[in-house]
Amino acid sequence: VSSEDDATPWLSPEELSAWMGFSAMLLTMPTAIDAQLKRDAGMNLFEYTVLAGLSEIESRCTRMANLAALSAGSPSRLSHAVARLERQGWLERRPQPEGAPRSTDVYLTDAGFDALKAAAPGHVREVRRLVLDGLTSAQIGQLGRISRQLLDISAPETAALIERRRTLGN
Amino acid sequence: VSSEDDATPWLSPEELSAWMGFSAMLLTMPTAIDAQLKRDAGMNLFEYTVLAGLSEIESRCTRMANLAALSAGSPSRLSHAVARLERQGWLERRPQPEGAPRSTDVYLTDAGFDALKAAAPGHVREVRRLVLDGLTSAQIGQLGRISRQLLDISAPETAALIERRRTLGN
DNA sequence: CAAGATTGACTTATCAATCTTT
DNA sequence: AAAGATTGATAAGTCAATCTTG
């Protein structure tokens, strides 16, 4: 669809080839990952990420804004998801009366922790099947690095949290 | 959430680190790409891909099943999207009375081609901003290769079409 | 007004069921 | 029954508007 004389920085053949593969993968991978989680554990990847993020905090509790950064979601997306998870009894919200403006603390319940523990093995197997098994260990490293660099542009707070966690001990 | 004695192939620190980055990116990138296209061109990435796929065929026409593979979508997802695009006047469906069972041919209209042409510059700029600009050219190659390998598992028909296009001339 | 968070309306995808013809 | 495609109900995300407090 490109014309000849314009200021648009059209993609080179190499760039176009990479983008066509990447965008097709973006269109299919989330669906594939969600399908297994939904079928076997009644949650999607975003909800799993929310539960998993909370489970790694000693207190199993944090504020909505921090949880949004941890799980790479917008405030609105997180609010809707937390409402669903709360209905399942997997989470509890407790508005903090102090501070200005008021924040909301979210707690992972025991039932939520159990649901996460039950979901994890199947999810990990699917991640292996759909992602890791198809790549060499060098490519796994490349994919991680590339993903973190991209996150740094479109979700810098999430990128910073992931980088922090990665650099420490693990 | 892992326990000690089970058969689950838990992720190594390197694998976990890569997956955490990749999954967070999967959670944010489609949203970011869609936002620009929706705002500036009234379509999402999947719809753009459908139009772009058709535009590269000389006849600007193909069957639903082939278009589904081209655009990395399920039959149902494509049906819904094509219905929307047809309502906009960007596409036309013509059921083929011959053959068994009947197939449906989809045509890109002139208005559809114009809409694609109008959408392309902004979309390309956003792809550069969100993806290509943050990577070295070596990484761009790595991302393309990795994406194609992953597609080969979860969407083999799409992978084959992309590989075919890539290998020819371009 | 800004920060933290929520809400409702609208859009879009999935899943399962359906239709039609060979 | 299988292939090609569509449909409707439901689920989940976006966007813009809202509420509340300092």
Angstrom distance, A80 CA to D13 C1': 9
Q: Residue B15: its pLDDT value, please?
A: 98
Whether B140 sits inside 8 A of A15 (CB atoms) is yes
What is the residue type of B140?
I
Q: Does the structure show a pLDDT above 80 at A99? A: no
Give, rounded to a whole angstrom, the gap between the first and last alpha carbons of chain B.
Answer: 47
Q: Residue A3: its pLDDT value, please?
A: 74
In this complex, the residue with its CA at the shortest distance from the C1' of nucleotide D13 is: A77
All residues of chain A having their beta carbon less than 8 Å from the beta carbon of residue B149 are 134-135, 139
Quote the CA–CA distance of B22 and A125 in Å, as a whole number. Answer: 16
Q: Both tokens of residue B22?
A: 């990749």
Q: Long-range contact list for B29-33, CB < 8 A, 24+ apart?
A: B29/A26, B29/A150, B29/A154, B29/B130, B29/B131, B30/A26, B30/A27, B30/A30, B31/A74, B32/A154, B32/B126, B32/B130, B33/A23, B33/A26, B33/B126, B33/B127, B33/B130
Q: Residue A39: its pLDDT value, please?
A: 98
Please tell me the pTM assigned to this model.
0.96
Whether B24 sits inside 8 A of A72 (CB atoms) is yes
Q: Residue B6: its pLDDT value, please?
A: 82
Q: Which nucleotide has the least CA–C1' distance to B79?
A: D6
All residues of chain B having their beta carbon less than 8 Å from the beta carbon of residue A170 are 13, 16-17
Mutate to test the interface with A, among B3, B28, B167 (most CBs of A within 10 A): B28
Among A140, A149, A166, the residue with its CB nearest the CB of B135 is A149
| pLDDT average, residue stretch A56-61 | 97
